[in-house]
Amino acid sequence: MQILIDLANKALNTNKTLPFSVYRSIEEQHMLNVPVIKPLLIVVLSGIKRLGSEGELLCPSGSFVFLSNKPTIAMRNIPSDSEYFALLIEFEYSDFECLEYRNFETNTYFQGTIEPTLEYTLKQFVEWSEFAPPQLWHVRRKEILQVMDALGFEQVRSIMRPPTLSHKIFTIITSDLANDLDAGAISSMLAMSESTLRRKLNAEGDKFQDIKDRAKLGYGLHLVQTSANPIGRIAELCGYSSQSRFTDKFKQLFNTTPTELRKTRINGSGE
């Protein structure tokens, strides 16, 4: 696993936009209601990850968990020895077109051990990401899916849920956080009335403002975990004019503040 950690760190040092993220910490992190909008592969390379409100799903170092696109989940990142270190790869709906469709109920998750073939594929993915243009990222993501399927993880064929209206709205908001789009603007983009949008969301058990909060704060969580930006700057990037307002909303959703979470990271600061 150390080679994969070294490769990921090397790629991060290029300061380029990459097709993966790295979450690392030197102290335990506990976050509630973490949004998972796209299928997410989490590869634990050091430490332990626990998922679920009671930490019932255990992912030790050298294992992975593949989460389907679903609203939220509780996460705990637990360092062992020096740190917690995980590689995160988000997949698009179109990535799964390379697999044979299975008309089974969608899996909410599956997990497994990082076998040598999968580890080699992930190494290639990370190394390749340093110079590959974004328009080719989907090629390697599909390769990861095909390798997992060939290794016997057939659950990968049914891990992707068709995007709901909530997912579509979430994607639109996160793609344009600076404009602070309201329900009227987004309903126009989706060619429906605002009342129809709200009615359909209600049928899905969701609300527009809740989606908007998850989108903005989910991006804030990502920036706190992966960047060195000051908390005030992160608040601005997430569409908040007030750092205190951002902190209050962050605490309300994730049960921790941006500053508390930042302190758990390697070279993190309290801001």
- Which of 107, 135, 157 marks a domain boundary? 157
Number of domains in the chain: 2
| pLDDT at res. 264 | 95
> Domain of 17: which CATH number?
2.60.120.280
Report yes or no on 271 lying in a domain.
Answer: no
Report yes or no on 199 lying in a domain.
Answer: yes
Confidence of residue 221 (pLDDT cuts 50, 70, 90): very high
Residue 82: CA atoms inside 13 Å, Cβ hemisphere, count?
A: 6
Residues 72 and 9 in one domain: yes
Residues 58 and 170 in one domain: no
**pTM, full prediction:** 0.91
- Which of 141, 157, 173 marks a domain boundary? 157
| pLDDT at res. 212 | 94
**What integer best gives the mean pLDDT of the chain?**
91
Confidence of residue 100 (pLDDT cuts 50, 70, 90): confident
Q: What is the mean pLDDT of residues 84-96?
A: 94
Among the ranges given (43-47, 60-64, 169-173, 251-255), the one the predictor scored with the smallest mean pLDDT:
169-173
| Beta strand 70-78 pairing with 48-51 | antiparallel
**Cβ atoms of 111 and 66 closer than 8 Å:** yes
Report yes or no on 56 lying in a domain.
Answer: yes
Confidence of residue 104 (pLDDT cuts 50, 70, 90): low
Q: Which residues constitute the domain of residue 20?
A: 1-157
Confidence of residue 267 (pLDDT cuts 50, 70, 90): low
Placement of tokens 């951002």 in the chain: 246
